Amino acid sequence: MTTTTATSPVLEATGVTMRFGGLTAVRGVDLTVNSGEIVGLIGPNGAGKTTFFNCLTGLYVPTEGRVAYKGTVLPPKPHLVTSAGIARTFQNIRLFANMTVLENVLVGRHTRTKEGLWSALLRGPGFRKAEAASRERAMELLEFIGLAHKADHLSRNLPYGEQRKLEIARAMASDPGLLLLDEPTAGMNPQETRATEELVFAIRDRGIAVLVIEHDMRFIFNLSDRVACLVQGQKLVEGTSDIVQNDERVIAAYLGTPFEGAPGSEEAAEVEAAEAAEAQGTTSTEGPAQ
């Protein structure tokens, strides 16, 4: 699956711009996600990553630009985007707290089932069949993320890491072609982060393209085939992990650039000079003071 369709783009966002009054949160961002690909989206806080996500999923209607999924332009309504095939998770977990784990996943099946009120009231064989199929699929997904044994628990009672996993399972229940993960490892310990990494790879292996927002650099650079960096609403750079990792503008965006007459710049220069003297042959002249 990954090899056959590796080149076809799943998501094409071109010139997406989002303005809130005078504030331009996202400015002319282009982003393409190909099938079977994991793309990372990084950027400092307030760079517009989540706003961009919301533009992709129809929660916001972009002021300019177009978002296309597998060649068709997406309607600007969240539920239509989901039924088109893009599912998402949220930065701050938004599970249905008072529903059970299984029910949460079943809600995710909403777009892939059709039974309306009448069939629910009449309970014909079609309804039972569809319900059983939904349950089976949901249990399979819970098995996949390793929460099958907690299917009857209320989702609010799950530990944090499992809530994150459940959110992913719920999103996957809509059989998406593209999964958008908004900071899936926020607040996780290193073990949990590693487990999430494995999970994302496993999701990719199921033929689902993944777009991830993350602040954990090690996680994102391990995971992603490509990484794009947003700064102040604009895409600064896009490329493989190595390219982005070593891009000076990215480093500057995260750590800042020293400027003329900045407090401490003299000391920094001294240290630098000393270091340069110590280790001969260094080429760096403006790297940030360590």
Partner 1 sequence: MATTETPKTTAQTTDTPRGLIALPQGIARVLIAVGAVGTIASTFMSWTYTSDFPGDLTYYGSPAGLQILALVAGALTLLYALTLWHVRGLNWLNPASAVAPVALAAASAFAVCWFSAIAIAVDLEGLIALDPGAYIAAIFSLAALLGALALPQPGDTPKSYLAKPENIPTAAKLPEWVERLVITAATAAALIVFAYGIGVDPDASETFLGYILLIVFGTWALFTAGLFDRISVLNARHKGFATSMAFLAAALFPFVENDEHNSNLGVNILVVATVALGLNIVVGLTGLLDLGYVAFLGVGAYAAALVSGSEFSRFSGVQFPFWAAMLTGMLASLVFGVLIGAPTLRLRGDYLAIVTLGFGEIFRITVNNLDGTSGPNITNGPNGISMIPDLEIFGFNFGTAHNIGSITIGRFANYFLLMLIITAIVVVVFTRAADSRIGRSWIAIREDETAATAMGINGFRVKLIAFALGASLAGLAGTVSAHVGYSVNPAPYQFAGSVPPNSAFLLAAVVLGGMGTVSGPILGATLLYLLPEKLGFLKEYQLFAFGIALVILMRFRPEGIIANRRRQLEFHDTGQLDIPESGLPDTTVGVTKAGA
Cβ distance 47 to 235 under 8 Å? no
- C-alpha distances (whole Å) from 253 to each of 68, 161, 177, 257, 265 are 29, 30, 32, 8, 18
56 binds partner 1 (CB under 8 A): no
Q: Whose Cβ is closer to partner 1: residue 182's or residue 197's?
A: 182
- In degrees and rounded to multiples of 5, residue 52 shows phi and psi of -60, -45
The rounded distance, in Å, linking the Cα atoms of 170 and 184 is 13
Question: Which is nearer to partner 1, 70 or 194 (by Cβ)?
Answer: 70
User: At closest approach, how far in Å is the CB of 176 from partner 1?
Assistant: 10
The site for partner 1, by CB under 8 A, has a size of 44
Give the C-alpha separation, 55 to 213, whole Å: 14
Look up residue 97 and give its two tokens.
Answer: 């707290």
96 binds partner 1 (CB under 8 A): yes
Phi first, then psi: give them for residue 75, nearest 5 degrees: -75, 150
Binding region for partner 1 (CB under 8 A) out of 105-113, 202-210, 230-238, 246-254: 105-113
On whether the CB atoms of residues 176 and 86 are closer than 8 A, the answer is: yes
Of the candidate residues 70, 135, 153, 194, the single one contacting partner 1 (CB under 8 A): 153
Q: Of 163, 174, 193, 196, which one interacts with partner 1 (CB under 8 A)? A: 174
Which is closer to partner 1, CB of 56 or CB of 253? 56
Tokens of 76: 């600007």
> Is 247 one of the binding residues for partner 1 (CB under 8 A)?
no
Out of 7, 8, 157, 240, name the contact with partner 1 by CB under 8 A. Answer: 157
Question: Could you say whether residue 233 binds partner 1 (CB under 8 A)?
Answer: no
> What's the full length of the chain, in residues?
290
Is 167 in contact with 199 (CB distance < 8 Å)?
Answer: no
* 102, 139 contact by CB (below 8 A): yes
Query: What SS3 state is found at 235?
Result: strand
Stretch that binds partner 1, among 19-27, 71-79, 216-224, 233-241 (CB under 8 A): 71-79
| The one among 68, 139, 151, 154 contacting partner 1 by CB under 8 A | 154
Q: How far is the CB of 256 from partner 1 (least distance, A)?
A: 34
Choices 1-9, 107-115, 202-210, 263-271; region in contact with partner 1 by CB under 8 A: 107-115
CB of residue 134 to partner 1, shortest distance in Å: 8
Helices (H), the chain: 49-56, 78-84, 101-108, 117-122, 125-145, 160-172, 190-205, 217-223, 241-245, 248-255, 265-278
Residue with tokens 């896009």: 238
Q: Does 95 bind partner 1 (CB under 8 A)?
A: yes
Taking CB under 8 A as the rule, does residue 59 contact partner 1?
A: yes
- Give least dist CB 36 to partner 1, A: 23
Q: Which position among 6, 20, 73, 123 is part of the footprint of partner 1 (CB under 8 A)?
A: 123
Contacts with partner 1, residue ranges (CB under 8 A): 57, 59, 77-79, 82-83, 87-88, 90, 94-100, 103, 106-111, 113, 115-117, 119-121, 123, 127, 130-131, 134, 152-154, 156-157, 170-171, 174
